[in-house]
């Protein structure tokens, strides 16, 4: 009986019955053993094995096969007609074919197997090396990322400090003219909001410098800044607008409210005596409604003109200009 289906298989196949008789063999097995495809096979498979392998089969392989129905990775030596042993690996499985119990033996050259194994080991080693290189690269990337993030934090801090510095008046610690822009943003998004600006200018400040020294003049500027801060609300923005001039932005304040704040400024400065000197300020006030452009320049200009008017009218007073009638306190 032959089983043609095995002739197509790429490996060497032997089929035996339960009495260890050779039932069939495919051409690959012939080629493997005899280097010829049509060689005849012995009746019992025992004759195909070297003596040592035959004993091993009788004592181990067949008992295992009969018990488990299959055996894997058995190392045997086939007995070639020229007398030389051929090392092979064998997988055997019991099965039913054409109503007959048979055992199918698949043979692989042991040498090929060890070559495959060493190739596999080599590939595994390469993949392990690659994995470790990848891990190193990943670790390095993580470090670089951390360094980059740290640098970004430093840069952001530096940028923040720079922004604060460029928006701050170093003498008084108040915002400077540039800081006015963010104050405008603070006025709110909605147009139609009423706001006021107070321009506060120290009277006869040149005389203060000339009489008491420039340093004393600086003290006066610092103290006036504090007086104005005391008069302002949390939501107001105070900046040193230039020289001895300060600007106070009052969101949501109409003319009347701005005049009340101005009055408070006059009183606080009179009481505080900035730099230990009795002095007065002139205040120009202006009130407007915020338009869509958020442009406060026209209102600033009006407040500036109002300061000029206050000076002209004798100083130590507030003049209000703007959409409202001029008022003088």
Ligand X SMILES: Nc1nc2c(ncn2[C@@H]2O[C@H](COP(=O)(O)OP(=O)(O)OP(=O)(O)O)[C@@H](O)[C@H]2O)c(=O)[nH]1
113-to-107, 116, 121, 185 alpha-carbon distances in Å:
11, 5, 12, 79
**Residue of this chain nearest to ligand X (CB atom):** 217
The answer to whether residue 223 forms part of the interface with ligand X (CB under 6 A) is no
When binding is defined by CB under 6 A, the residue of 173, 243, 276, 314 that contacts ligand X is 243
CB of 323 to ligand X, least distance (A): 26
Site for ligand X in 245-274 (CB under 6 A): none
Task: Candidates 19, 98, 214, 292: give the one binding ligand X (CB under 6 A).
Answer: 214
- With CB under 6 A as the contact rule, which of the stretches 2-10, 27-35, 59-67, 200-208 interacts with ligand X? 200-208
> Which is nearer to ligand X, 209 or 252 (by Cβ)?
209
Would you say 274 or 322 has its CB closer to ligand X? 274
Q: Determine which residue in the list 218, 257, 264, 308 makes contact with ligand X, applying CB under 6 A.
A: 218
Closer CB to ligand X, 127 or 328, in the complex: 328
State the Cα torsion 150-156-158-163 to the nearest 10°.
180
Largest CA distance in the chain: 137
Question: Is 266:224 a contact under the CB 8 Å cutoff?
Answer: no
Return the residue matching tokens 């800044």.
225
Binding-residue pattern over the window 138 to 177 for ligand X, x denoting contact by CB under 6 A? ---------------------------------x------
Nearest approach in angstroms of CB 256 to ligand X is: 26
User: Which C-beta is closer to ligand X: that of 80 or that of 311?
Assistant: 311
| Gyration radius of the chain over CA positions | 51
Nearest Cα neighbor of 236 from 220, 214, 258 is 258
Question: Which CB sits closer to ligand X, 29 or 197?
Answer: 197
| Ranges within 26-85 binding ligand X (CB under 6 A) | none
**Interacting residues of 278 by C-beta distance below 8 A, sequence separation 6+:** 270
For the chain, where are the E strands, in sequence order? 12-17, 22-25, 70-79, 85-97, 100-109, 194-202, 237-242, 245-251, 281-289, 318-322, 327-328
Q: Which residues on adjacent β-strands are paired with residue 101? A: 96
Query: Which residue in the set 167, 168, 209, 263 belongs to the binding site for ligand X (CB under 6 A)?
Result: 209
Nearer to ligand X, 223 or 244 (CB): 244
Beta 237-242 vs 85-97: how paired, if at all?
unpaired
Residue 205 interacts with ligand X (CB under 6 A)?
A: yes
Burial of 12 (0-12, 13-18, 19+ CB in 10 A): buried
Q: Does 202 bind ligand X (CB under 6 A)?
A: yes
Residues 284-323 close enough to bind ligand X by CB under 6 A = 311, 315
Residues forming the site for ligand X (CB under 6 A): 171, 201-206, 209, 214, 217-218, 221, 243-244, 311, 315
């Amino acid at each position: 009986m032959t089983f043609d289906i095995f002739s197509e298989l790429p490996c060497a196949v032997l089929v035996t019955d339960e009495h260890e008789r050779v039932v069939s063999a495919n051409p690959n097995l012939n080629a493997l053993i005899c280097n010829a495809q049509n060689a005849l096979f012995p009746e019992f498979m025992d004759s195909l094995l070297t003596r040592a392998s035959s004993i091993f089969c009788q004592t181990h392989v067949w008992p295992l096969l009969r018990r488990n129905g299959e055996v894997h990775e058995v190392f045997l030596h086939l007995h070639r007609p020229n007398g030389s042993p051929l090392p092979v690996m064998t997988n055997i499985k019991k099965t039913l074919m054409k109503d007959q119990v048979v055992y199918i033996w698949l043979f692989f050259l042991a040498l090929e197997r060890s070559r495959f194994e060493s190739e596999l080991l080599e590939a595994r080693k390469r993949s392990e090396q690659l994995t470790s290189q990848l891990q190193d690269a990943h670790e390095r990337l993580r470090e670089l990322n951390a360094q980059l993030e740290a640098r970004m934090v430093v840069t952001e801090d530096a940028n923040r400090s720079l922004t604060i510095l460029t928006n701050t008046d170093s003498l008084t610690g108040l915002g400077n003219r540039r800081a006015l822009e963010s104050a405008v943003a603070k006025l709110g998004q909605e147009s139609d909001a009423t706001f006021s600006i107070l321009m506060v200018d120290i009277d006869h400040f040149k005389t203060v410098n000339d009489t008491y020294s420039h340093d004393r003049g600086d003290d006066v500027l610092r103290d006036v800044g504090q007086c104005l801060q005391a008069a302002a609300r949390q939501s107001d923005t105070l900046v040193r607008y230039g020289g001895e001039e300060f600007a106070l932005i009052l969101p949501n304040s109409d003319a009347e409210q701005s005049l009340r704040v101005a009055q408070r400024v006059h009183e606080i400065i009179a009481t505080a005596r900035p730099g230990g000197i009795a002095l007065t300020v002139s205040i120009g006030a202006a009130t407007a409604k915020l338009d869509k452009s958020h442009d406060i320049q026209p209102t600033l200009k009006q407040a500036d003109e109002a300061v000029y008017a206050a000076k002209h009218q004798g100083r130590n007073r507030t003049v209000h200009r703007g959409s409202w009638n001029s008022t003088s306190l």
